Amino acid sequence: MERNSGILLPISSLPSKYGIGTLGREAYRFADALKAAHQTYWQVLPLGPTSYGDSPYQSFSTFAGNPYFIDLELLTAEGLLDRRDLQKVDWGESPRYVDYGKIYTSRFRVLRRAFEKGYPRDRAAVDEFIQGNRWVRDYALFMALKSRFGMKSWLEWEDREIARHRPAAVARYEKLLEEDIRFYIYLQYLFFRQWGKLREYVNGLGIQIIGDLPIYVAMDSADVWAEPEFFQLDSDNRPVEVAGVPPDYFTADGQLWGNPLYNYDRMKADGFGWWIRRVEGASRLFDVIRIDHFRGLESYWAVPYGEKTARNGRWRKGPGMELVGVLTSWFHGLRFIAEDLGFLTSEVHKLLEDSGLPGMKVLEFAFDPREPSNYLPHTYTPNCVCYAGTHDNETLLQWEAGATEETLAYAREYLGIGQETPLNWAVLRAGMRSVAGIFIVQIQDYLELGAEGRMNEPGTTRGNWRWRLLPGELDKALIEKIARCTRMYGRG
């Protein structure tokens, strides 16, 4: 693995005048900033359409793109929108935080206008898009049905025949909801057209995009609704057990994620074709794929459906190298990162070793004075990816503010710095000079933000995924500072 570095910034966190980051001008500007800062990677979060809670890890589809990210300025430039369509729309009051309620209310009304102008013009190109993306028909029907049934989960749809994806019901609703289906397909056409141009530009700068592949899909998704046979569901297509993680030092009740669990026996009988299609879809978005919750492929925590916490779950064996080997051998030109955080056993360590994939090291986990840590930089090998912190962690300044005196003293002693030296930049330099093949930093840590910059707090469902970069905040002075640090430690 070559020695490089990158920055983590979700698409939603880009600046824009329309409430949330998009695939337009500011995305290209950020790519230029990465190039000027001598970075090799841009890491983003999952790009799928979000549901209740606004988490990119709970998407209506593992294949689809988020319509919120379609850039409205680009649509205006090609005549699909008028400037007046964008005026007098309440996109939210704060340029710092996304107001998802207002985005949900306003975005689709504006995009419907673009559809009405653009679909007749682009129909041939849309038909070609459908041929290359077979999943899009099921997704578009699913979203049209959700709209018809008041956006309720498909488990609660009044028509149980379509909830069970019966062929006769599917054919009937395809005719009934034809116009809405075209609308949702067209949004995917627009998203992938804009994403393709952005990715081409980013790659042309010598920068690769790292994207997350959540290990699970959402229960309320086109994926589960359209192909229930690949999930652990009962005769009424309701889950038997759901995903989570057990209680630990941080969470007494564990984390109850609620995602349906896979029917790995059925998937194996199909040659893991569902996973192959899923990763092929992700490869159209990303150059490097981070497999979220990698340890769940060795064994996973299964919680009976209906439980209020994750306490009463059990460990069940996962597919291990049978699945990992299929993916790494099938996609020769695609690179993977294993998110090997959480409760790790010797079996998980062996799976990582057998896979040959680089695992993750998080510096915020390193400085525990009570016991040695394999997150300390001197323990690394080149075949790993070091993070100062991830989107699920506190910012470095927030971590420092909440750490014990013993932890801070140990960190300063390990890093060889006194009280007069800023600890946050010492931690960043430690990651830069480590032997880890790749070093990734949240942009919030380069900006030296505190709690106001945190992206997500696991185990909570409100107030997450909202943080945004302000226009001009990543200025030339900071870009040059990042570039100097990157060059000094041979990463760019």
Identified catalytic residue from 307, 392, 448, 457: 392
Residues 6+ away with beta carbon under 8 Å from 411 = 366, 367, 403, 423, 427
**From the candidates 54, 85, 287, 292, which is the catalytic residue?**
292
Give the amino acid at 184.
Y
In 370-451, alpha helices (H): 396-402, 405-415, 423-433, 443-446
- 322 as an active site residue: the answer is no
Considering 54, 71, 220, 339, which one is annotated as catalytic? 339
Crossing angle between the packed helical segments 423-433 and 405-415, to the nearest 10 degrees: 50
Distance between CA atoms of 10 and 249, rounded to whole angstroms?
29
**DSSP-derived secondary structure letter, 317:** E
Cα torsion for 224, 227, 233, 237, to the nearest 10°? 80
| 234 carries an active-site annotation | no
Distance between start and end Cα atoms, the chain: 14
Q: DSSP string of 34-91?
A: HHHTT--EEE----SPB-TT--TTSBS-SSPPPGGGS-HHHHHHTTSS-HHHHTT---
* Whether 267 contacts 274, CB under 8 Å: yes
Q: How many residues does the chain have?
A: 492
Q: Check if 178 is active-site.
A: no
Sign of the torsion formed by the C-alpha atoms of 162, 167, 171 and 177? positive
Neighbours of 328 (CB within 10 A): 17
Please tell me the distance from the alpha carbon of residue 330 to that of residue 232, in angstroms, as a whole number: 26
Active site members = 292, 339, 392
